[in-house]
Amino acid sequence: MCQDHPGFTLWFTGLPCSGKSAVADRVAAALKEKGHYVERLDGDIVRQDLTRDLGFSKKDRDENIRRVTFVAKLLSRNGVAVLTSFISPYREMRDRARREVTNFIEVYARCSLDVCIKRDVKGMYEKARRGEIKEFTGISDPYEEPLNPEIVLDTDKETLEDSVRRVLDRLAQLGLTSQG
């Protein structure tokens, strides 16, 4: 594989079960087909190793995103397409990532809370409502919506394929990938 593409980071953010990972996985596959070096940084996977010592307090969430930002910065500046999918509920930390990462593109997976709850096969929202899960984003902890994301996906109104196409089209418009 010949690498002649610039590195960038697609930072998927949104409520739990909003579709961040589903879209990011499909976009990653499409970018690999186009010849990009691609790395996926997903919240569930990263918390198994890189950030397994962290909980879900604001301090720990900020540290989680700080570490992920560092990894994304290293990869993107070396020509890798990095696709992160983290709730990353706080604007301040997303803005920090934007300042530090090469070609940062914020992708807001906007989805109503009702749809997120319906998609929740693990029952996390219900546990949070019963108080069994503390500091759960969207229930007992805030989510600060992005103010000016490069891409907004209405994942409760559009198909997965439509969301993927919109991301790929925007990357082409930004000159980070080839069209089509």
The pLDDT of residue 179 is 63
Whose CA is closest to 81, among 159, 3, 173?
A: 3
Phi, psi of 49 (to 5 degrees): -130, -70
Query: Domains along the chain?
Result: 8-173 (3.40.50.300)
The pLDDT of residue 3 is 56
The pLDDT of residue 48 is 80
pTM for this one? Answer: 0.92
The pLDDT of residue 17 is 96
Residues identified as active-site: 88
E strands along 43-180, which residues? 80-85, 104-110, 151-154
Q: Which residues of the chain have pLDDT under 70?
A: 1-3, 179-180
Question: pLDDT per residue over 117-150, tens digit each?
Answer: 999 999 999 999 999 998 899 999 999 999 999 9
Helix ranges (DSSP H) in 47-90: 58-76
